[in-house]
Amino acid sequence: MKVPVTVLAGITALSATWLFASVTTDHDKSVDFGKYHTYSWIGVKAGDELWVSRIQDAVNHQLSAKGWQMTPSGGDAAVSAFGSSKNIPTLNTFYDGIGGGWGWRRGWMGGMGETTTTVDNTPVGSLVVDVFDASTKKLIWRGRSSETLSSKPDKNEQKLEKDVADMFKKFPPAGRD
C-alpha cells in the first residue's frame, strides 16, 4: 500500500508541532519600555506547586539579565505567570500474528492476527507570562509558550528554562513604533 506524500508531510509537520515548543510574544507598540527598570510579582499560578518557584526563578533570571531589578512591591512593572498542563492521549497499536504489518491481509492463511491498542497520556503544558505597567495596570507585554512540559519530568526543568529564555530573547521590545 502506498501512502501519499502529502499525508506523510502532514504527519511529519504535526509530529514536529508536538515535539517542539512554540514560543510567541506580543507587546503594546505604543509603550516606551526604556522607562521600566524595576518589577514586582503579582503572582504565579501553576497546576503543580513545585513549578511556582521554578517559573518565578526562570523569569527572574531573564529579567535580571535584561537589567531589570525585582522589588518586593512598588516596581515600575508588575509581572504575573500562569502555567497549566493537560494530558494528550497517544494511541499505540501493536499487531501480532501471521503477516505482521498493518492494513488488510491478503497473505498466507488470510493473514489473521491480533491487534492491541493502548492509550498513553502525555502531559503537555503551556506557560503565559504577562508584564503590566504598574501604575496603569495595563498589559504591555505577553510571552506564551506551548508544550513546555513533556512526558519526561527530568527534562521539564530544562525545557522551562529554554522556553522562558526564548520568550525574553528580544525583550524589552525596541522603542515605540
pTM, to two decimals: 0.68
- The C-alpha cell at 147 is 508544550
pLDDT of residue 97: 55
Per-residue pLDDT band for 14 (boundaries 50, 70, 90) equals: very low
Q: Is residue 138 part of a domain?
A: yes
pLDDT of residue 11: 39
CATH code, domain carrying 140: 3.30.160.670
Average pLDDT over residues 48-55: 87
Per-residue pLDDT band for 50 (boundaries 50, 70, 90) equals: confident
The Cα-based distances of 68 to 24, 63, 128 in angstroms read 21, 5, 19
The least confident of 23-32, 48-57, 93-102 is: 93-102
pLDDT of residue 18: 41
Is the model's pLDDT at 9 over the cut of 60? no
Q: Is residue 173 part of a domain?
A: no
Q: Is residue 118 part of a domain?
A: no
Q: Is residue 174 part of a domain?
A: no
Q: Is residue 91 part of a domain?
A: no
Contact between residue 131 and residue 78 where contact means Cβ atoms under 8 Å apart:
yes
Q: Is residue 36 part of a domain?
A: yes
pLDDT of residue 47: 76
Question: pLDDT digits over 117-133, tens only?
Answer: 777 655 567 899 999 99
Handedness of CA 56, 62, 66, 67 (dihedral sign): positive
Per-residue pLDDT band for 41 (boundaries 50, 70, 90) equals: very high
Contact between residue 85 and residue 76 where contact means Cβ atoms under 8 Å apart:
no
Range of the domain at 69: 23-86+125-167
Q: Exposure string (b/e) for 72-96, b if CB count within 10 Å is 16 or more? A: eeebbbbbbbbbbbeeeeeeeeeee
In the chain, % of residues over pLDDT 90:
48
3-7, 146-150, 170-174 — most confident range: 170-174
Residue 167 CB-density burial (10 A; 0-12 exposed, 13-18 middle, 19+ buried)? buried
Average pLDDT over residues 19-38: 89
14-18, 128-132, 149-153, 159-163 — most confident range: 128-132
Contact between residue 90 and residue 121 where contact means Cβ atoms under 8 Å apart:
yes
Is the model's pLDDT at 3 over the cut of 50? no
Domain count for the chain: 1
Is the model's pLDDT at 169 over the cut of 50? yes
C-alpha to C-alpha distance for 118 and 93, rounded to whole angstroms: 6
Q: Is residue 131 part of a domain?
A: yes
Q: Is residue 52 part of a domain?
A: yes
C-alpha to C-alpha distance for 77 and 131, rounded to whole angstroms: 7
